[in-house]
Amino acid sequence: MTIIVMAGGLSHERDVSLRSGRRVAQALRDYGREVIESDVNADLIPLLRRTPDPVVVPMLHGGLGEDGALREVLEVLEVPFVGPTGAASRLTFDKSIAMQVVRAAGIASPRQIALPHDIFRELGAPALMEGIGAQLGYPLMVKPTRSGSALGVTKVDEPGALPAALVAAYAYGTVAVIESFIAGREVAVTVLDDGTGPVALPPVEIRPESGVYDYEARYTAGATRFVTPAELPDEALAAAGDLAVAVHKVLGLRHLSRVDMMVEPSGRPVFFEGNVAPGMTETSLAPLAIEAAGRELGEVFATLVDLAGA
């Protein structure tokens, strides 16, 4: 098999994708595998067709990488790839749909309202803001429904700040979600299924220096402290792992995913987002979890490549 690591694309997360792709490609080479690195452009399909026995490792973040479209192209071309299917990716990437699926399965998650931009524009902010505040209360979290890396995400503490937060979210898409704020400690759990069923890797606790885990805090070295495994009671660690595996199954994911959650002071984990293409940069969470589990990045991806191509 020839491994093609696909990174780049034209989303807002292009730089992060390129960094993830380079790291995974080098880890696979260090593990003795032949790797081709490719961007997403007009040369991609000819590359796939002329490469003998290709297996793709998608390291694309944001819309093109996580909305399922490119993965469905690979499925049509009958090119195997690492990670969730196109359909599961589309479901997970859309926060307004994924949250309803997770809640319907009985998994703890925040209350949520999805608000398209045209409704916000036509109906006007004042009446909407009053109704949203009455239903969800403050503080709130406002996010684009289809984006990653905390782009366009705002914590809103009072009604006057909600319209600006929605405008910021609409910069990344036509629909925003508004969620009840969950107080606690932010934890990310990577789920790995290398052929024996999904297993939760050690949870990573996120402690940003600024207090907000935004884009800068995610990708600036030293801006956030990561604790692996999270400094939580054993019962809370186990519950976080159980929640992550349950979400992985409910959303129909495979191979590798990351589930983000808040752990309340009581120890109860609460889901807020799933990720079908976890970042693999030097400051990303999944590599920390893989290392804490006693695994190597190259070995994990080589195993997943073999599984995808079998």
Question: To the nearest whole number, what is the mean pLDDT of the chain?
Answer: 92
Q: Centre a 10 Å sphere on the Cβ of residue 228 and count the other Cβ atoms it contains.
A: 17
The mean per-residue pLDDT over the stretch 146-170 comes to 88
Whether 148 has a pLDDT exceeding 90, the answer reads no
Q: Centre a 10 Å sphere on the Cβ of residue 47 and count the other Cβ atoms it contains.
A: 15
Confirm if 1 and 275 have CB atoms less than 8 A apart. Answer: no
pLDDT category, 9, cuts 50, 70, 90?
confident
pLDDT at 217 (0 to 100):
73
Q: Where are the domains of the chain?
A: 2-83, 92-108+183-309, 112-180
pLDDT at 1 (0 to 100):
87
CATH class of 92-108+183-309: alpha beta
Query: DSSP per residue over 139-196, as a string?
Result: SEEEEESS--TTTT-EEE-SGGGHHHHHHHHHTT-SEEEEEE---SEEEEEEEE-SSS
CA distance 63 to 99: 18
Strand partners, 202: none
Phi/psi region, residue 291 (left: phi>0; alpha: psi -120 to 50; beta: rest), is alpha
pLDDT at 146 (0 to 100):
87
Among 176, 150, 285, residue whose Cα is nearest residue 225 = 285
Write down the architecture of domain 2-83 according to CATH: 3-Layer(aba) Sandwich (3.40)
Contacts of 114 (CB under 8 A, 6+ apart): 96, 145, 175, 176, 177, 178
Number of H helices, E strands in the chain: 13, 13
The mean per-residue pLDDT over the stretch 61-77 comes to 89
Strand partners, 192: 199, 256
Each residue of 95-143: pLDDT tens digit?
A: 999 999 999 999 999 999 999 999 888 876 677 778 888 889 999 999 9
Instruction: Look up residue 81 and give its DSSP letter.
Output: B
Element (H, E) at 15: helix 14-30
pLDDT at 156 (0 to 100):
92
Report residue 58 as tokens. 């998608």
Phi, psi of 257 (to 5 degrees): -150, 170
pLDDT category, 11, cuts 50, 70, 90?
confident
pLDDT category, 151, cuts 50, 70, 90?
confident
Each residue of 262-293: pLDDT tens digit?
A: 999 999 999 999 999 999 998 899 999 999 99
pLDDT at 149 (0 to 100):
62
Contacts of 310 (CB under 8 A, 6+ apart): none
What SS3 state is found at 95? helix
73: Cα separation from own chain's centroid: 21
Report residue 293 as tokens. 């589990």
Torsion (CA) 232, 234, 235, 239 in degrees, nearest 10: 70
CA distance 180 to 178: 7
pTM recorded for the entire structure: 0.92
Q: Which residue has the higher pLDDT, 98 or 12?
A: 98
Among 307, 306, 310, residue whose Cα is nearest residue 32 = 306
Each residue of 84-95: pLDDT tens digit?
A: 999 999 999 999
Would you identify the CATH topology of the domain 112-180?
Dna Ligase; domain 1 (3.30.1490)
Each residue of 219-246: pLDDT tens digit?
A: 777 788 899 999 999 999 999 999 999 9
Phi, psi of 39 (to 5 degrees): -85, 175
